[in-house]
Structure 1
């Protein structure tokens, strides 16, 4: 316990002696965590949006004639052969007519005299709602087009392509911001620790002469790196929460109530803070090892 108290005292003194560089390091770590966690938050909510898609994520396969029960079984087998799906529904011409009539509502009288079989039968295929299914849906559509008796395959091509492109862009940004987080945290913490080591080099040499172990000399600097990472990451997450609440307040309306936009879960927050803390410890260890050759 005494060792921890002495170590913590040395750590606080080191941070006070180099408070300017400490503030710059904390700001850099906070900003890096904020940037990375912001784009990760966007990505996580995009995953939730894709999981909540319902009728918008479906393929409608129009047929030239209504399939018999054995033919339905063949269609089902061939569809499942390409990919797993949530649901397959066979819609007859009469069912399509009734849906169309319900969609028209009070204007259903325009169908007066129109035969109930004027709409083609179809198969509605509901892919598994995930980002991976979005990337495969174009190939899925091309495959369904090759099935016998298929007239046309229809799906929300434009918005699905745009949504998938957006997700791909976010993934690239997350990778780049993650690389930025790793480089800035380790570099800035290592730079700050090196400044502290320079200012206390004579004192460290005296500690060696009086028999101080490597762990005794190294531990305060590792604590310093851990504190920089923890405080900086916690500040970055706090700034993200403020930004999230501000955006949610600015865009409050039907869109925010319909789409499930949520903040990061506590395990994810803890993981991000822990990761930033670990990176700062590694930066601190790298500076100590390189400068003091312990």
Structure 2
């Protein structure tokens, strides 16, 4: 068994060399096809990742009343004495107790004013101290984006809350965009893989047809079908392997370049491409796997008509 495998292995390498131009044509076809698959799959998968990040970035902003002391441990009473706040985190605890609430973060009006000043310029420096027109707020992350609307409605009913914002129309658009990208993106990826299978299989079939005389001679001298099929199966796998080298290298270098130049700016918006440590090995492995499997299967399927009695 092992001896036969090595015999087929050596014979497949000799066949690649002996049928030079047909091998070059088959490898070139596989290279072009897998390059398109690698590039389009990279774009589609990362677009789906960004859409998912946008969806998970939807947060609920809960604005408290102007005189709210919900986050103050102590307050000054009417006598001017500093005492413990009996309503400390009363609103916060009601929010945390709601179903589907993951995290609740306090944002003081001073922090919000500082962020606005950094973003919009020194104009907002006019509103300092008691002149600050903003409100203290709680920022809520839900366990799943689908619960944003229901949680926002529940929070709006809590006493002491003056306004709840969840993005409204923009939120609906983001959810619809994320669903559309996922649906059509993965459908396009499937169609792309089907196209790759079709093109590579047909290329392998052409190389097999061009050697039909060789197969017929082997049958006439009494070779078994399994013996005839072995070298061609390995040869198809070699074609797929060789054809995947250039696309894998291209994906490796291009993705590194795009990731390092784009991901920094995306990070400031809490977005990210798929990590290089995950994406590059997975995509390269997938390209080699697709090339080898389709090449081998293409050879076997194309030979059936020549091996019939």
Q: Does structure 1 conserve the Cα–Cα contact (< 8 Å) formed by 2:61 and 2:139?
A: yes
The answer to whether 1:124 aligns with 2:122 is no
CA drift at 1:5: 0.9
**More RCO (CA 8 Å, sep 6+):** 1
Q: Distance in 2 between matches of 1:272 and 1:265?
A: 11
Deviation at 1:9, TM superposition (A): 1.6
Residue segments in structure 1 that go unaligned for 5+ positions in a row: none
- Which deviations, in whole Å up to 9, do the C-alpha atoms of 1:38-95 show, x marking residues without a partner? 3224445666x669x8xx65322234566635664333212xx1x141x22456xxx4
Shift of 1:109: 5.2
1:204, 1:217 within 8 Å by CA — same for their partners in 2? yes
Q: CA RMSD in A?
A: 4.0
1:74 maps onto 2:94 in alignment: yes
Q: Quick one: distance in 2 between partners of 1:33 and 1:204?
A: 34
Cα-to-partner distance string for 1:238-268 (whole Å, 9 max, x where unaligned): 333454466568x679726856555433244
Question: What is the TM-score when the length of structure 2 is the normalising length?
Answer: 0.68
Q: Does 1:270 align with 2:285?
A: yes
Instruction: Please tell me whether the aligned partners of residues 185 and 283 of structure 1 are also in contact (alpha carbons under 8 angstroms).
Output: no
1:255 to 226, 250, 265: 265
Cα distance change on mapping 1:112 and 1:18 into 2, 3 Å: closer
SS at match of 1:195: helix
Change over 3 Å in CA distance of 1:19–1:36 after alignment to 2: same
Question: Are 2:240 and 2:288, in contact at CA under 8 Å, matched by a contact in 1?
Answer: yes
Aligned to 1:59: 60
Is 2:284 the counterpart of 1:284? no
Secondary structure at the aligned position of 1:74 is classed as helix
Q: Highest Rg: 1 or 2? A: 2
Number of positions where the alignment pairs a residue of Structure 1 with one of Structure 2: 275
Residue 29 (str. 1) matches residue 34 (str. 2): yes
2:119 matches 1:99: no
> Does the 8 Å CA contact 2:9/2:234 hold for their aligned counterparts?
no
